[in-house]
Structure 1
């Protein structure tokens, strides 16, 4: 068996938070999202992303080797910084199997969801527990569709 595919059966999930560089615009976010959707589909990665003007919060899932490769790419991406992994875990099945990258941004319609999981008046994913981050993403996803 080839080393790069030896863990293809091990499905992982990783959730991380990062800070957006101040010059990241809505147009940049749309480019990030489109790039993620194309790259993730090609690499067997699915997930959920939320972004406000200051922070990214993302859960990605897929084969362990692909998640590790993506993590290195994310760390090197200059559109954000201070990447902190909130949780990694093995999965028995995908949560986000329908989306190469689902997404949600704060709106008036979902503001209460962000507030429900925030420990402060402003959304700060660095202050979320792994469970709160998962619950937030699940609830945003159900409201988004």
Structure 2
């Protein structure tokens, strides 16, 4: 059995935060989201993304080899910088199985959820621990 076949049975969940480059527009973000949904569906990756004008917070899950390849691509992506892993772990079951990439952004309807998990008035995922980041995304996805 090849290494890739073995890795396909090991599911990984990875959560990271990064800073958006100041020139990333709403149009750019829509393209990022569309690309992520298409690429993730093709590669067996599921996840949740939240974005405001300054930060990305994302959890992705899938086969270990695919997540590692995606991580290299994320690090090289010039649309964001200062990528920091908040958590990487093996999982038995996917949490985001319904979505190649679910998405939430701050709105009036979910402002209280962002505030609940933020240590400041302005959302900053670098100040979240892994549990808080995952709970934030779970709550956002249920609104």
TM-score range, shorter chain: over 0.9
Helix, strand or coil at the partner of 1:112: helix
**1:9 alignment counterpart:** 9
Q: CA deviation at 1:113?
A: 0.5
Q: Cα RMSD between the aligned structures?
A: 0.6
d(CA) in 2 for partners of 1:31, 1:137: 21
Q: CA deviation at 1:109?
A: 0.7
Helix, strand or coil at the partner of 1:89: strand
Q: Deviations over 1:37-93 (max 9, x none)?
A: 000000000000000000000000000010000000000000000000000111110
**2:45 alignment counterpart:** 45
Helix, strand or coil at the partner of 2:142: helix
**2:126 alignment counterpart:** 126
**1:59 alignment counterpart:** 59
Normalised to the residue count of structure 2, the TM-score between the two structures is 0.99
Q: Is 1:76 equivalent to 2:76 in the alignment?
A: yes
**1:21 alignment counterpart:** 21
Helix, strand or coil at the partner of 2:140: helix
How many residue pairs end up in the alignment? 143
d(CA) in 2 for partners of 1:87, 1:30: 26
d(CA) in 1 for partners of 2:77, 2:85: 15
**1:92 alignment counterpart:** 92
